[in-house]
Amino acid sequence: MSVPVIAIDGPSASGKGTVASRVAAALGFHYLESGALYRLVALAGGDAPERVAASMDVEFLNRKILLNKHDVTDYLRNEAIGDQASEIAKLPAVRAALLGRQRGFRQPPGLVADGRDMGTVVFPDAVLKVFLTASVATRAQRRHKQLNDKGKHATLAALSSALEERDKRDAARAVAPLKPAADAVSLDSSDLTVDEVVDQVLNKYRERMVR
């Protein structure tokens, strides 16, 4: 039997990273935050992002992300880096360069991968595909709290506008646009706690595995 994959896709600030990491921990699976790879390419800079994507030295260690042996975890959460990553993600050559890296995370006993095209492109044979959504207002409030907790400030209006723009950009790109896979389970987290979402994903996975 091939190594099982749970693919969790969704827009920015939908909570997919938190949910995916907790599901992975509950199952003892590996975890892939695919968006971090695009953010790393943006952070590394350079005139040839496809070459950076193919050659950058990346390590994921206990929720820390290392680029060329340096801990860059906090830098990757910068809003400007996120916007640059969204632009870079439109480049077919970059996506092609990162595809093998992403699939390389598929190791026993299993993998939980979050992103925007995990179920549609990277792991089309995932045993469970979840498309996690939330209202723009909810996502803006979540991002606002994250920034405040780090001592950074932004208005809810600005965050809402930025999220709406990124949603449009991610959904409209020609390569691997943000959309649910045909066989994905859609889950709106607007009125759910993280624990409730995690429980729903785990229950769906267990249902699939006993079929």
Q: Residue ranges per domain, the chain?
A: 5-209
Give yes or no for residue 147 having a pLDDT over 70.
yes
Give yes or no for residue 93 having a pLDDT over 60.
yes
- How would residue 122 be classed by pLDDT, with cut points 50, 70 and 90? very high
Q: Taking all residues of the chain, what is their mean pLDDT, rounded to a whole number?
A: 92
CA-based radius of gyration for the chain: 16
DSSP of 148-187: HHTT----HHHHHHHHHHHHHHHHH-SSS-S---TTPEEE
58-84 burial string, b = 16+ CB within 10 Å, else e? bebeeeebebeeeebeeebeebebbbb
Q: Are 77 and 147 in contact (CB under 8 A)?
A: no
- How would residue 18 be classed by pLDDT, with cut points 50, 70 and 90? very high
User: How many CA atoms, within 13 angstroms, populate the side-chain half-sphere of residue 92?
Assistant: 2
Q: What is the CATH number of domain 5-209?
A: 3.40.50.300
**Alpha-carbon gap, residue 111 to 6, rounded angstroms:** 6
**Alpha-carbon gap, residue 14 to 12, rounded angstroms:** 6
Give yes or no for residue 7 having a pLDDT over 70.
yes
| pLDDT for the residue 179 | 92
- Start-to-end CA distance of the chain, whole Å, equals 14
Residue 175 or 124, more confident:
124
pLDDT per residue as tens digits for the range 163-188: 999 899 888 888 888 899 999 999 99
pLDDT per residue as tens digits for the range 73-82: 988 988 889 8
Residue 173 sits at φ, ψ, to 5 deg, of: -65, 150
Give yes or no for residue 1 having a pLDDT over 70.
no
